[in-house]
């Protein structure tokens, strides 16, 4: 085992792996690689944001070195902004293409895109769920953790059995995300997200958490009450969950 790495199973069954910040991307990439070794055409759900960036870089490095085969992997999206269509700079789809799917050679034929067109969005959300089912469900869902405990765009108050739907975003989220693009684009106030129920339906889940500012919410997620106030706490209700945290994010765990 690498020095400084702590691996524990919490009483709820969640596996927690705490690593130095420099190993965070590689520990997260291991989740993907382990899944693809077992099932080369696995369906994997990918998040955007600052947290998973080191994982995407590590996956691309492994692919360049020839140690990771992404040629059969199928990808699905966790969330996006309502109205972020075409080449909108805030589109999570475009972000994922730029940071990972295009350099990794994952084409649109292997990617299930979250609907974002406001017209007919409710029906499109239902179709998204049906398409997930037709793919055989999600084998591994990767998640970041919002400062308010959101997963995907499931903000506090989210129902445990919710499916893919449109959500109004909280001020915490829109402020946190404003840094992602230039100020000429108004921060969208609604998102489209897999529901908590959709996420919990994945056969395995990887929650990625890094940085000191996430220490409080990681503690509430893992040790506080399970309920809608901290949607990520619902992860403690399901079987196969791995949390990868860097030492700063894990600083408040006993």
Binding site for ligand F6R (CB under 6 A): 47-51, 78-79, 92, 144-146, 150-152
Nearest distance, CB of residue 152 and ligand F6R, angstroms: 5
Whether the CB-CB separation of 33 and 68 falls below 8 Å is answered with yes
Nearest distance, CB of residue 66 and ligand F6R, angstroms: 29
Edge-to-edge strands of the sheet including 241-246? 6-9, 15-19, 241-246, 204-209, 140-143, 43-46, 74-77, 111-112
Q: Half-sphere exposure of residue 51, counting CA atoms within 13 Å on the CB side?
A: 29
Task: Check if 154 is active-site.
Answer: no
Distance of CA 52 to the CA centre of its chain: 8
Cβ closest to ligand F6R, residue 26 vs residue 141: 141
Q: Which listed residue (148, 154, 177, 210) is catalytic?
A: 148
Nearest distance, CB of residue 81 and ligand F6R, angstroms: 10
Residue 88: C-alpha distances to residues 85, 116, 142, 162 (Å): 6, 11, 24, 27
Residue 81, strand partner residues: 191
Whether the CB-CB separation of 138 and 201 falls below 8 Å is answered with yes
Cβ closest to ligand F6R, residue 11 vs residue 182: 182
Nearest distance, CB of residue 240 and ligand F6R, angstroms: 19
Q: Which listed residue (23, 30, 79, 80) is catalytic?
A: 79
Cβ closest to ligand F6R, residue 21 vs residue 40: 21
Cβ closest to ligand F6R, residue 39 vs residue 83: 83
Cβ closest to ligand F6R, residue 2 vs residue 95: 95
Task: Check if 177 is active-site.
Answer: no
Q: Which listed residue (23, 58, 80, 155) is catalytic?
A: 155
By DSSP bridging, strand 165-168 and strand 190-193 are: antiparallel
Whether the CB-CB separation of 254 and 248 falls below 8 Å is answered with no
Distance of CA 65 to the CA centre of its chain: 25
**For residues 207 and 31, what is the distance between their CA atoms, to the nearest angstrom?**
10
**In the bound complex, which residue of the shown chain has the CB atom lying closest to ligand F6R?**
144
Q: Which listed residue (30, 150, 165, 210) is catalytic?
A: 150
Task: Check if 148 is active-site.
Answer: yes
Task: Check if 155 is active-site.
Answer: yes
Nearest distance, CB of residue 18 and ligand F6R, angstroms: 18
Q: Any idea which residues carry the catalytic annotation?
A: 79, 148, 150, 155
């Amino acid at each position: 085992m690498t020095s400084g790495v702590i691996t524990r199973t919490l009483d709820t069954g969640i596996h927690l792996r705490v690593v130095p910040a420099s190993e965070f991307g590689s520990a997260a990439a291991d989740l993907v690689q382990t899944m693809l070794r077992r099932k080369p055409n696995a369906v994997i759900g990918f998040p955007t944001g600052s947290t998973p960036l080191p994982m995407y870089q590590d996956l691309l490095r492994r692919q360049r070195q020839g140690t990771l085969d992404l040629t059969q992997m199928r990808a699905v999206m966790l969330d996006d902004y309502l109205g972020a269509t075409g080449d909108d700079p805030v589109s999570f789809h475009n972000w994922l293409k730029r940071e990972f799917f295009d350099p990794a050679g994952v084409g649109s034929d292997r990617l299930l895109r979250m609907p974002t067109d406001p017209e007919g969005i409710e029906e499109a959300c239902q179709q998204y769920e049906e398409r997930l089912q037709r793919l055989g469900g999600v084998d591994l869902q990767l998640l970041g953790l919002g400062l308010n405990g959101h997963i995907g765009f499931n903000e506090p108050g989210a129902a445990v059995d919710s499916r893919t739907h449109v959500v109004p975003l909280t001020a915490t989220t829109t402020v946190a995300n404003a840094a992602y693009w230039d100020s000429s684009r108004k921060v969208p106030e609604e998102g489209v997200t897999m529901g908590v129920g959709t996420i919990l339906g994945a056969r395995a889940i990887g929650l990625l958490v890094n940085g000191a500012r996430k220490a409080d919410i990681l503690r509430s997620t893992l040790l506080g009450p399970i309920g809608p106030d901290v949607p990520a706490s619902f992860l403690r209700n399901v079987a196969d969950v791995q949390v990868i945290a860097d030492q700063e994010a894990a600083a408040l765990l006993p």
